[in-house]
Structure 1
Amino acid sequence: MSGFVLKPATRRRTEPVSALPEHTEPTRHRILSNTVRNCESPQEFVAEIEKLWGEAQEKFLTIGRYLVQAKNRLRHGEFELMVATQLPFGKNVAYQLRIVALAVEQNRLEERELPRSYSNAFRLAQMSEAVLSRARAGNLVRPDVTRREIAEFVSIITAEAERQEPDDARVAREIRRLRQRVATLEDELAEAKAKLAELEERRIIDGNAEEAA
Structure 2
Amino acid sequence: MKLDGKVKLPRPAPDRYAGLFADDGTGRPQEVITFHSRTHTVERIKALWERARDDFLAIGRWLVVAKERMEHGEYEAMVRAELPFSPSRARQLRTVAEFVDSGRIPLERLPPADSVIYEIATLSDDELAAAEPDIRPSLTRVEAKAFKKKRIDTRAPGATPDRAALVRRIERLKQELAEAQAQLTKIDQGS
Fold shared, TM-score > 0.5 on shorter chain: yes
Residue in structure 2 matched with residue 134 of structure 1 by the alignment = 130
Q: 1:18 is matched with which residue?
A: none
Select which of 81, 84, 100 maps to 1:104.
Answer: 100
User: Within 5 A, what are the aligned runs for 1:184-199?
Assistant: none
Q: Does 1:143 align with 2:143?
A: no
- Residue of structure 2 in register with 1:31 after alignment: 21
Supply the AA of the counterpart residue of 1:154: K
What is the letter of the counterpart of residue 77 of structure 1?
A: G
Q: Percent identity?
A: 34
Inter-CA distance 74–38: structure 2 relative to 1 (3 Å threshold): same
2:43 pairs with 1:53: no
Q: Shift of the alpha carbon at 1:28?
A: 6.1
Moved over 4 A (4+): 27-30
Say what the alpha-carbon RMSD is for the aligned residues.
2.3
Structure 2 equivalent of residue 81 of structure 1: 77
**Whole-angstrom CA distance in 2 between matches of 1:55 and 1:147:** 19
Q: Using structure 1 for the length normalisation, give the TM-score.
A: 0.58
In structure 1, how many angstroms separate the alpha carbons of the residues matched to 2:23 and 2:84?
21
Question: Which of 110, 114, 127 is equivalent to 1:114?
Answer: 110
Structure of higher CA gyration radius? 1
- Contact 2:123–2:148 (8 Å) recurs in 1: no
Change (3 A) 1:103 1:43: same
Give the Å deviation of 1:72. Answer: 0.8
**Structure 2 partner of 1:159:** 153
CA distance in 2, matches of 1:78, 1:60: 22
Per-residue CA deviation, residues 137-176 of structure 1 (Å, 9 max, x unaligned), is 1x2x223211221233322111112x25349xxxxxxxxx
Greater CA drift, 39-48 or 79-88: 39-48
Partner in structure 2 of residue 42 of structure 1: 38
Deviation at 1:31, TM superposition (A): 2.8
Q: Give the paired residue count.
A: 139
Give the direction of change, closer, same or farther, for the CA distance of 1:54–1:150 in structure 2 (3 Å limit).
same
Larger RCO: Structure 1 or Structure 2 (Cα < 8 Å, ≥ 6 residues apart)? 1
Long gaps (5+) in structure 2: 1-14, 25-29, 161-191
Aligned CA distance change for structure 1 residues 151 and 109 (closer, same or farther; 3 Å): same
Q: Judging changes above 3 Å, is the alpha-carbon distance between structure 1 residues 29 and 115 closer, same or farther for their aligned structure 2 residues?
A: closer
Structure 1 residues without counterparts, runs of 5 or longer: 1-22, 168-213
**Structure with the bigger percentage of helix:** 1
Compute the TM-score of the two structures, normalised by the length of structure 2: 0.65
Specify the SS of the correspondent of 1:37.
strand
